[in-house]
Structure 1
Amino acid sequence: MQVQNQSQPMDIGIGETDRNAIADGLSRLLADTYSLYLKTHNFHWNVTGPLFQTLHTMFETQYTELAVAVDDIAERIRSLGFPAPGTYSEYAELSSIPETPGVPKAEEMIALLVEGNEAVVRTARAAFPAAEKAGDESTADLLTERMRLHEKTAWMLRSLLQ
């Protein structure tokens, strides 16, 4: 990751090398979160079947929360002095969440969203050591909240499959 040109030196108590490592992990989290946002929004639009109303509403709640999360993660990267990735090609390179071609059945949508939420948890967990090593409580707090929320969302979705 490349640091932005700054006319003012940055001194937030975290060195550039550590900020770079943290921003790299956050960039992967941003890509996964955006990919999950897009998948969830797509499923919201295209879900059909007996659970339509339940899933349509649930997916809307989830993609709305993900939209806020995308902004929070990108702004944290910026606060660390780095540009946030913001193109589909960057997200495709950074994300661990594959695209889903076509329109799957409702039950498959649920399973794919469980997998996506679990992937985001793994990505956030992988980013945590760099934040912890640098004493970056702000990023650690963001990562902890993302893990908590995605673990809960995966549980709720998984419950629909039983």
Structure 2
Amino acid sequence: MEPNTGIAGEGRHAIADALAQVLADSYSLYQKTHLYHWNVQGPRFSALHQLFSDQYLELWNALDEMAERIRALGVFAPSHGQLAARTKIPTPNDISVSEDAMLKALLEGQEIVVRSARSALKLSAELGDDATADLMTQRCAAGEKAAWMLRAHLS
């Protein structure tokens, strides 16, 4: 049964597709951040272990909100394989990298997510989907704050 909430079917599907990109990038970044949380080592271990924990937990909670928004638009949330195929987040092959390399990779990932969220925000605003626009505004703010925190550790 198609939703009848004031957004045409084509628009709902376009918004859901943009959201699926943000979800894919966020899910991949969640996994990378958690992996680095487990494997960080060096003189800043304690601080980075906690920072990475804070960031992967924030991402984890956001994943559910985005997938549920896709469902509210009348579209199925993407499968794990679909998420993995469309993410723009580079997948690490070597987990024994330096603290700075981890920070730089996560910073790059956060900025990718923000750009994806900003694109979905623009589309949803153009199509009159205030609920998705609000969610993407929150994702932009969270990603920008996370990027700032990562940058602060690199200065």
Is the structural similarity TM-score above 0.5?
Answer: yes
Query: What's the offset of the Cα at 1:15?
Result: 0.7
Query: What's the offset of the Cα at 1:61?
Result: 0.8
**Paired position in structure 1 for 2:85:** 93
**Is structure 2 residue 149 aligned with structure 1 residue 140?**
no
Q: State the AA in 2 paired with 1:23.
A: A
Question: TM-score scaled to structure 2, two decimals?
Answer: 0.96
Question: TM-score scaled to structure 1, two decimals?
Answer: 0.92
Give the 5 Å matches for 1:1-162. 6=1, 9-87=2-80, 89-103=81-95, 104-162=97-155
Matched residues in 1 for 2:30 and 2:79: separation?
14
Moved over 4 A (4+): none
Q: State the AA in 1 paired with 2:54.
A: T
Which range is displaced more, 29-38 or 120-129?
120-129
Q: State the AA in 1 paired with 2:93.
A: P
Query: What's the offset of the Cα at 1:126?
Result: 1.3
Structure 2 gap segments, 5+ residues each: none
Q: State the AA in 1 paired with 2:120.
A: A
Q: How many residues align?
A: 154
Query: What's the offset of the Cα at 1:125?
Result: 1.1
RMSD: 0.9
Matched residues in 1 for 2:50 and 2:123: separation?
36
Matched residues in 2 for 1:46 and 1:133: separation?
42
- Report the identity percentage: 47
Deviations 1:112-159 (A, max 9, x none): 000000000010111122201221100000000000110111011011
